[in-house]
Amino acid sequence: MARPRTFDPEVAIEKAMQVFWTHGYEGASLPDLLDGMGLTRGSLYKAFTDKKTLFLKVLERYEESAVLEGVKMLNDPAIPDGADRVMAMFTNAYQRVTEGDQRGCLLCSAAAGPSNYDDEIATVVSKSLGTLRDGIEDALRASPKHAALDDAARGELADMLISQYVGLRTMARARIGPDMLRNAVRSVGAMLA
Amino acid sequence: MARPRTFDPEVAIEKAMQVFWTHGYEGASLPDLLDGMGLTRGSLYKAFTDKKTLFLKVLERYEESAVLEGVKMLNDPAIPDGADRVMAMFTNAYQRVTEGDQRGCLLCSAAAGPSNYDDEIATVVSKSLGTLRDGIEDALRASPKHAALDDAARGELADMLISQYVGLRTMARARIGPDMLRNAVRSVGAMLA
DNA sequence: ACAGTTAGAGACCAAATGGTACAATACACA
DNA sequence: TGTGTATTGTACCATTTGGTCTCTAACTGT
């Protein structure tokens, strides 16, 4: 009935995610996005309304990919002890840095940035972090040591761990020496063991 | 021998710190700064060279005020147990939120933002966070329970705690529900007790 | 083949960005 | 009281920002 799109919106969002991930929300300029997504202004605005709407879509995608992957790791039945799964998540975060990825976590950067003044972004960020937190809580339930805790204490521990995670990835983005990150992760391990 | 300044540079930096603290480095525009500092473009550039130099000065001041205050808290002889001092720092961070301060920590926002692409800023941020970390380590040494740890383990714990702190304040800036922050702090308390 | 409809490319826009130039001003010292 | 000097205020600047508009191209259903 009309001219069809020459790009896949899903692919475009994926590419936009990479751009926002490296530059941050405010740091990513329209030309940056256009470049990274490989489309022109007209197409971007026709398909995604504006920068912020695109970012919200990207955050959704981030939840569906990165966050979901984390939750999957936290539910991994191949690792019987839930506490080990939590550790896998932290170790993974550290490994990314050693592999040269210093972008940190898109969610965490958004938390430190636009979440402060934009309610919609804050809501989505809050929700995604909540998803991860709940994954941690579930994993703790699957840990002999932490299954013994009462619900309140276990919930509080989950809150602490998600905050720890945000801190770790924020420091990774700040290019803090990797030793500090490794030590922090080790210490989380010691605490959970 | 010539026309004297009509403003106190120290006061101006203090005001600039407030502006950067609320808006972040990139989010603070020149008009924002001019407004907040109460001076004109000419004066600002003559006295502080440019935005980034001003920000570096502000970071120094932040270290001398906020960070130093934190370290002082961590050395407070009025609290005999060092672990309690660490907790005082965390409790204080939470309290700020309940009192309506949702700006988080200037250092942590800088960590998530410009530290990623600016080496000079990254260096200063890293150094200031290191100062705080060392304060935590010293406090732990003054805790009966943690004095017993070997140096490596205590150091790792300090690394974990500074990262926890960054996470907490980042989430505060993101306006995450205060309950989560309170719980995280509680859990840190449980861990240290 | 055609009409209808939408995508694409990019010229264009106003506003805001960080930064500079320079004239007017106000002070300290002689 | 004047003269030199540094500050101050502001007009100005190029560039970049996010966003719009319009004209053309391309595809679909008839």
pLDDT at B3: 87
pLDDT at B20: 98
Quote the CA–CA distance of B36 and B19 in Å, as a whole number. 6
pLDDT tens, A54-67? Answer: 999 999 999 999 99
Between residue 20 and residue 59 of chain A, the positions with Cβ below 7 Å from nucleic chain C are: 39-43, 46-47
Q: What is the mean pLDDT of residues A35-40?
A: 97
Partner A, chain B 143-162, Cβ-Cβ below 8 Å: 153, 155-157, 159-160, 162
Q: What is the mean pLDDT of residues A27-42?
A: 97
pLDDT at B135: 98
pLDDT at A92: 98
What percent of chain B is modeled with pLDDT above 70?
Answer: 99
**Residue A182 DSSP SS3:** helix
Mean pLDDT of chain A: 97
Q: What nucleotide is nearest A40 when CA is compared to C1'?
A: C9
pLDDT at B142: 98
Q: Is the CB of A4 less than 7 A from some atom of nucleic acid strand C?
A: yes
Q: Is residue B118 part of a domain?
A: yes
What percent of chain A is modeled with pLDDT above 70?
Answer: 100
pLDDT at B8: 97
Q: Is residue B40 part of a domain?
A: no
pLDDT tens, A118-177? Answer: 999 999 999 999 999 999 999 999 999 999 999 999 999 999 999 999 999 999 999 999
- Where residue A5 falls (left for φ over 0; alpha for ψ -120 to 50; beta otherwise) is beta
Which of A112, A126, A156 has its CB closest to that of B109? A112
CATH number at residue A126: 1.10.357.10
Q: Is the CB of A127 less than 7 A from some atom of nucleic acid strand C?
A: no
**B104 CA → C17 C1’, Å:** 26
Q: Is residue A3 part of a domain?
A: no
pLDDT at A139: 98
Q: Is residue B17 part of a domain?
A: no
User: Measured in whole angstroms, how far is the alpha carbon of residue B183 from the centre of its chain?
Assistant: 21
Q: Is the CB of A4 less than 7 A from some atom of nucleic acid strand D?
A: yes
Would the pLDDT of A86 be above 90? Answer: yes
Inter-chain CB proximity A171 and B174 less than 8 Å: no
Which of the residues in chain B have pLDDT under 70? none
| Closest CA-bearing residue to C1' of C21 | B42
Which chain C nucleotides are covered by protein, judged by CB under 7 A? 4-11, 16-23, 25-29
Whether A57 and chain B come into contact, CB under 8 Å, resolves to no
Whether A176 and chain B come into contact, CB under 8 Å, resolves to yes
pLDDT at B186: 98
Q: Is residue A35 part of a domain?
A: no
Inter-chain CB proximity B159 and A183 less than 8 Å: yes
Domain range for B66: 60-192
Q: Is residue A179 part of a domain?
A: yes
pLDDT at A3: 87
Domain tally for chain A? 1
**B49 CA → C28 C1’, Å:** 25
Q: Is residue A76 part of a domain?
A: yes
Q: Is residue B82 part of a domain?
A: yes
pLDDT at A2: 81
What percent of chain A is modeled with pLDDT above 90?
Answer: 98
Quote the CA–CA distance of B66 and A27 in Å, as a whole number. 27
